[in-house]
Structure 1
Amino acid sequence: MKGSKAAIRYAKAVLQQAQEDNVAKEVFGDMQDVLNTLRGSKELRSVLQSPVIKASDKKASLLEIFGSSTQNTKSLINTLVENRRIRLLGGVAESYVNLYNQAKGVIVAQVTTSVALSPEIEAQVLSKVKDLTGSSSVSLENTIDESIIGGFILRVGDLQYNASISNNLNKLRREFTVN
């Protein structure tokens, strides 16, 4: 759900308005909810992409799903529907989260594992990332990808550390095929 240039522009506008209204943190929570909901629902993503479903139906559904959101988030949904850009909602939400974290100086570390992290392991990873980056403001995103078999892949900014079993198996495979 990468943010396109248009999604980033919408996210910047929403962030600016939210800061003026002193609700940037609340909208951040809304955008995380939108992002998690869209990531978790293939059906909803399909509805937003569908040219067959009326814009008014998409708008009504989204306002129902995110009814407890701030007025800023509801205005975003209305604007995207009016401009026929509702398919950008996920990208706008992701871009907003990234822009908000940048503005607050929060470093986001992405950990990919084959199973969900336990609270103890999550605390250890957070501690290690804080040591590595020298930042006390670190957020952790855990993505589950069973294809890595075990271990983990850690991404912090442009740096990546791949300690997955599948990566180690691929290294071994390359070593044996070269010799």
Structure 2
Amino acid sequence: MSSIAAANRYAVALFDLAKEQNILDDISAELKVVKQVFQENDTLQKLLQHPKVSSDQKQQLIEESFTGLSVPMGNLLKLLLKKQRMDAITYIVDKFQELLEEERKVANAVVYTVKPLTSEEETMISTTFSKKLGKDTLHITNEIDPSIIGGMKIQIGDTIFDGSVKGQLNRLERELVPGKR
């Protein structure tokens, strides 16, 4: 079984438990800290995967590295350690955040423009596209991309709304030039 598939199952189980106990925000915050620790400390990951480090030593290392965690988070880390799946923690965090955003009807968008968006433009885009997607909130990250010439391109998850001049020119070229489809 792949690490990603296992990570998805762990994330869903943790999400369901956190939702049931009404501690979604707490678990989300703890997960972000745990992910940051693993990303910033390569040695920790190597020690937890090293075959010459005993299970008891690994357990102690986890307990010392992550004091003050909630019971569900502590149990998750212990389970991941026991099942030798500590490498899946980043995927678990990402999937949990995805589930949390879905639960709260929140989406994230990257808006590519030639010049920075004003706050009014961000609000208009957020309002318009959140309604189209059936979301309550749309968080926008504005990326400057001079290659689009004008207009904007919006990426929300795997979906791209291309209203850029470059996109329009490319579509026009495909229609006019044979063999360009």
Normalised to the residue count of structure 2, the TM-score between the two structures is 0.61
Does 1:94 find its partner at 2:129? no
Distance 1:93 1:143, change over 3 A: farther
Shift of 1:94: 1.0
RMSD between superposed Cα atoms in Å: 4.5
Give the aligned partner of residue 137 of structure 2.
138
Query: Which shows bigger deviation, 120-129 or 52-61?
Result: 52-61
Does 1:76 find its partner at 2:76? yes
Distance 1:126 1:4, change over 3 A: same
Partners of 2:19 and 2:106 lie apart in 1 by 20
Partners of 1:103 and 1:23 lie apart in 2 by 13
Q: How does 1:86-165 map to 2 (within 5 A)?
A: 86-104=86-104, 106-111=105-110, 120=119, 122-135=122-135, 137-140=136-139, 142=141, 153-162=153-162
Distance 1:161 1:13, change over 3 A: same
Give the aligned partner of residue 10 of structure 1.
10
Partners of 2:164 and 2:60 lie apart in 1 by 42
5+ residue gaps, structure 1, are none
Shift of 1:83: 1.2
Higher relative contact order (CA 8 A, sep 6+): 1
Distance 1:12 1:118, change over 3 A: same
Q: Contact (CA 8 Å) 2:129, 2:138: kept in 1 or not?
A: no
Q: What's the % identity of the aligned pairs? A: 13
Shift of 1:49: 6.3
Partners of 1:58 and 1:171 lie apart in 2 by 56
5+ residue gaps, structure 2, are none
